[in-house]
Amino acid sequence: MKKKEMVAMLLAGGQGKRLKGLTKSIAKPAVYFGGTYRIIDFPLSNCTNSGIDTVGVLTQYEPLVLSSYIGIGSDWDLNRKNGGVFVLPPHEREDGSSWYRGTADAIYRNLKFVDQFDPEHVLILSGDHIYKMNYNAMLEYHKEKKADCTISVIDVPIEDASRFGILNTEENLKIYEFEEKPAKPKSTLASMGVYIFKWEVLRRALLEDGEDALSSHDFGKDIIPALLSKGKSMYAYPFEGYWRDVGTVNSLWEANMDLLSDNPPLNLNDPSWRIYTRNPNQPAQYVAPGAKVSGSIINEGCIVRGEVKHSVLFYAVEVGEGSVITDSVIMPKVKIGKNVRIHKAIINENTVIEDYLEIGTDRENEDEILLIDNRSKKRKSVPAKTI
C-alpha cells in the first residue's frame, strides 16, 4: 500500500442503547437522520470532502446493515484502488479472541491495518454526531502546532458542560487537563470526539494501554489522560458550526427539527459540501390535491394526501387523507392511514399506522418524544372516536 499522510478510523461499533428501539437491530451509526441519511453519512462525507480517501470503519454491534450499507464505499467516492473504505469487525487472532473492549482497544487491534498505510497522522472519528467539518483544515492546524494530538472542541453552554468531556487549556489552546463529564466544569470547551494523533505517538500509547489490565481501553478515559500526564503536546482545535450528538431519542428528534427552519443551521443543500448517502432510487414525491405541506423536509417516493407540518418524512412514506402530522420524524416506508394524528413522535421504519389512530396528541409531558414501531403502536396510541 502507498503511504498516506492521514488515515481515518471511524468508531462505529456502539449499540446506542439510549436510542431504544431505533437500534434494536442496527448499530447507532446506521440510524436514519434528516429525511434520507444515516448518521454515518456525515463523517464519511466529511472524509471525502476533506480529501481523506482511506477510512477504516470499526464495527461490532449488529454490523450487517452497516456493512452492507457501506458496501465498497462508492456512494461516498471511497471505492479506491489505493485506500478506500474498509469495514473492520473484531476478529480472532493467534493470542485468542474477544470483542473490542473499548474505543482505544478497537484501534489497538487494528494496528496492522493502519500500519500498512504508514501514515504520519491518524484521525479518530465517531459515528454518532451530525456535523459538517473540514478535517483537512484541522490537520493543517495540527501540523502548524506540531502537536502530538489535536482534539476538536466546540463551545457549549456552561450548564450543559458536565455532559461532555471538557478540555482545560492555556491561552494558546494547549491542553493541560481533560475531564470526562466533570461535575464542576472549568471551561466550556467540549470534546467532539474528533482526534488527530501522530500515529507514532498513538501507536506507542495503544501498545502500552493494551498491556494494561486495569485500563478500560478508552480514548477519553485512558489514552488522552495518559498522554497528558506524559507531557505530550496536545492542542484543542476550536470548531465553529453546527454539531450535534444524536445519542438519545430526544436529541435525534431535536437535530431533525433543527433542519426545518427557513434558514437551517445545518445546510444540507450546499453543493460545495454534499452529504453523500446510498440513494434509495424512488420516484418523485407526490403531493396530492388538498394536501398541505409546510416547514418540512420530504424525501422522494412519498405520497402525501394529508397535512404535514414541521416534520421530516423519509423516503416512500404515505400519508392518507385527513391525517395531520406535526413536529414528527417519519422513517422510511411508513404507511399512515386516513385521519391519523401524529404529534412529537418518531415513527420507526416500515410501521403501519391504522386509520383514526392518535399518537402523542393527548399527553402531559411534551418533552418526551414518543418512539413508535409496529410493536409499540398498539400500546402507545389510543384509537380516537370515529369522526
Partner 1 sequence: MKQLMGVINLDHELDNLNELTYFRCGAAVPFASRYRLIDFVLSNMMRAELESVGLFVRRKYRSLMDHLGDGKSWDMNRKHGGLFILPPDWNDPTDTSLGDLQHFHNNLDFFKRASAKYIVHSGSQHINTIDFQELYSYHLQKGADVTLVYKKIDQLEPEHDPCLRLEVDGEGNVTNIHHEKNHPNIYLDMFIMEKELFLEQVEYCIAHGESFFFRDAIQKRRDKLKIAAFEYTGYHAVINSLSSYYKNSMELLNQEEYTDLFRDNLVQTKIKYEAPTHYLESANVSNSLVANGCIIAGTVENSVIFRGVQIRKGARVVNSVVMQKCIIEENAVIENVILDKDVQLSRERILVGDSKRPFVIAKSSKM
Q: Does 298 bind partner 1 (CB under 8 A)?
A: yes
Confirm whether residue 180 is marked as ligand binding.
yes
Q: Does 316 bind partner 1 (CB under 8 A)?
A: yes
Q: Does 31 bind partner 1 (CB under 8 A)?
A: no
Residue list 227-266, contact with partner 1 (CB under 8 A): 259, 262, 264
> 113 phi and psi, to 5 degrees?
-60, -50
Closer to partner 1 by CB, 31 or 58: give it: 31
Confirm whether residue 4 is marked as ligand binding.
no
* Three-class secondary structure of residue 64 per DSSP: helix
Structure-block grid coordinates of residue 265: 443551521
Burial class (CB in 10 A: 0-12, 13-18, 19+), 142: buried
Q: Which of 65, 226, 291, 384 binds partner 1 (CB under 8 A)?
A: 291
Q: Does 226 bind partner 1 (CB under 8 A)?
A: no
Which of 219, 158, 159 has its CA nearest to residue 189?
Answer: 158
Pairing state between β 149-155 and 189-198: antiparallel
Name residue 358's beta-bridge partners: 341, 382
Q: Does 49 bind partner 1 (CB under 8 A)?
A: no
Q: Which of 268, 354, 356, 376 binds partner 1 (CB under 8 A)?
A: 268
The Cβ-side half-sphere exposure at 216, using a 13 Å CA radius, reads 7
Q: Does 185 bind partner 1 (CB under 8 A)?
A: no
CB 359 within 8 A of CB 353: yes
Closer to partner 1 by CB, 36 or 381: give it: 36
CB 131 within 8 A of CB 192: yes
CB 45 within 8 A of CB 275: yes
Q: Does 287 bind partner 1 (CB under 8 A)?
A: yes
Cα distance between the two ends of the chain: 67
CB 371 within 8 A of CB 345: yes
Residue 328 carries which side chain, given as an amino acid letter?
Answer: S
> DSSP readout, 243-257?
EEE--SHHHHHHHHH
Structure-block grid coordinates of residue 329: 420524524
Confirm whether residue 181 is marked as ligand binding.
yes
Segment near partner 1 (CB under 8 A); pick from 113-121, 133-141, 173-181, 297-305: 297-305
Name residue 167's beta-bridge partners: 178
Closer to partner 1 by CB, 233 or 285: give it: 285
Q: Does 290 bind partner 1 (CB under 8 A)?
A: yes
CA gap 162, 365 in Å, rounded:
25
Q: Which of 36, 110, 150, 191 binds partner 1 (CB under 8 A)?
A: 36
Segment near partner 1 (CB under 8 A); pick from 50-58, 123-131, 178-186, 294-302: 294-302
Q: Does 79 bind partner 1 (CB under 8 A)?
A: no
Q: Does 335 bind partner 1 (CB under 8 A)?
A: no
CA gap 73, 45 in Å, rounded:
11
Confirm whether residue 235 is marked as ligand binding.
no
Confirm whether residue 32 is marked as ligand binding.
no
Closer to partner 1 by CB, 288 or 352: give it: 288
Segment near partner 1 (CB under 8 A); pick from 55-63, 65-73, 149-157, 290-298: 290-298
Where does this chain bind partner 1 (CB under 8 A)? 34-36, 74-75, 259, 262, 264, 268-269, 274-277, 279, 281-301, 312-314, 316
Residue numbering of the annotated binding site: 100, 165, 180-181, 191
Query: Residues annotated as binding site for alpha-D-glucose 1-phosphate?
Result: 100, 165, 180-181, 191
